[in-house]
Amino acid sequence: MSSRKPIKKAVFPVAGLGTRFLPATKAIPKEMLPVIDRPLIQYAVDEAREAGIEQMIFVTGRGKTAIVEHFDIAYELESTMSERGKDMGILEATRATPGDIITVRQQVPMGLGHAIWCARAIVGDDPFAIFLPDELMIGSPGCMKQMVDAYNEVGGNLISVIEVPKEEVFSYGVIDPGAESGALTEVKGLVEKPAVEDAPSNKIVSGRYILQPEVMRTLENQGKGAGGEIQLTDAMARMIGDQPFHAVTFEGKRYDCGSKLGFIEATLALALEREDMGQDVRALAQRLLG
């Protein structure tokens, strides 16, 4: 089936208020909080670019302009740095080609499904990726690259999953698995936060999706679900059976940067792996623990 449209657009729902990180997020979007020296959103955009995605669609809310600023040219900063002979390479990844960063506003926080639906005009009739930047996925290749490779094989809709200990499934969306082949698992159903004894698997949905544009029509006609919000999971569940639906088990590490503990874990884990600071951080951690 060579008529499969390539994945060139990605939606980043970044309208959340970040209340868990107050007061840090009072004036700064939580997606701009740095893990070491790169804001969370930068990790997600880098992962998207690695997967061949060209258009980044940010679904933002009030007070989120810093995210867009981050990917703009910072003229004064750059000219000062070049005059001083500083390394400009660190800013390379933050530059967007004009027109590649598009923002749409989600005026009312009505859930993830609603945030995605706000991007419908830009997505149009193309399949698209979704990144939840709170979930920091570190792998080589990156999570979305692994998914795009799988999409090129099977098409349809894909979600990224990771395996967790069975007793932890009650906090997550879980897949009801069908046939498995390598990293690919057929998805027969999605269960949101099941009781441990009822969970159909230990494969939890983890913040990366590739969806067909039909999901927008599904969201359009969908009533409110859990928490009075329009849930993406409900819309995806309604598409199972109509289109191919697979899960890709992510080979790599997932850090839940929506929680303080996960944020600290990500910072430490990534710092320990860095050539420029790994040894020093290890020594520092041992000193603190001692």
Which DSSP string do the residues of 110-161 spell out, in sequence order? --HHHHHHTTHHHHTTS-EEEE-TTEEEE-SS-HHHHHHHHHHHH-SEEEEE
In degrees and rounded to multiples of 5, residue 65 shows phi and psi of -65, -25
pLDDT bin (cut points 50, 70, 90) of residue 3 is: low
pLDDT, position 246 = 96
Mean pLDDT on 247-251: 95
Q: For tokens 């009739």, name the residue.
A: 125
Read off φ and ψ for residue 92, nearest 5 degrees.
-50, -55
pLDDT at residue 105 tops 80: yes
Q: Supply the pLDDT for residue 97.
A: 75
Cβ neighbours for 60, distance < 8 A, ≥ 6 positions apart: 14, 15, 67, 68, 103, 104, 105, 106
User: In the structure encoding, which two tokens stand for residue 82, read together?
Assistant: 């070049």
- Please write the tens of the pLDDT for every residue from 16-51: 888 999 999 999 999 999 999 999 999 999 999 999
CA-wise closest residue to 133 among 29, 27, 6, 248: 29
Give the position of tokens 């990156």.
142
- Average pLDDT (4-19) is 92
Residue 151 near residue 158 (C-beta atoms within 8 A): yes
Domains of the chain: 9-258 (3.90.550.10), 259-290 (no CATH)
**Both tokens assigned to 151:** 């999409």
* CA pair distance 224, 217, nearest whole angstrom: 15
**Model confidence pLDDT, tens digit, residues 234-247:** 888 888 988 999 99
| pLDDT > 80? residue 142 | yes
Q: How far is CA 106 from the centre of its chain?
A: 17
Among the residue ranges 96-100, 123-127, 245-249, 254-258, the one predicted with the least confidence is: 96-100
Tokens of 79: 């000219």
Q: How confident is the model at residue 2 (pLDDT cuts 50, 70, 90)?
A: very low
Q: How confident is the model at residue 1, as a pLDDT?
A: 44
CB atoms under 10 Å from CB of 236, counted, come to 22
Sign for the pseudo-dihedral over CA of 232, 233, 239, 243: positive
Question: Residues 47-62: what's their mean pLDDT?
Answer: 94
Q: What is the mean pLDDT of residues 209-221?
A: 91
| pLDDT over 70 percentage in the chain | 98
pLDDT at 110: 83
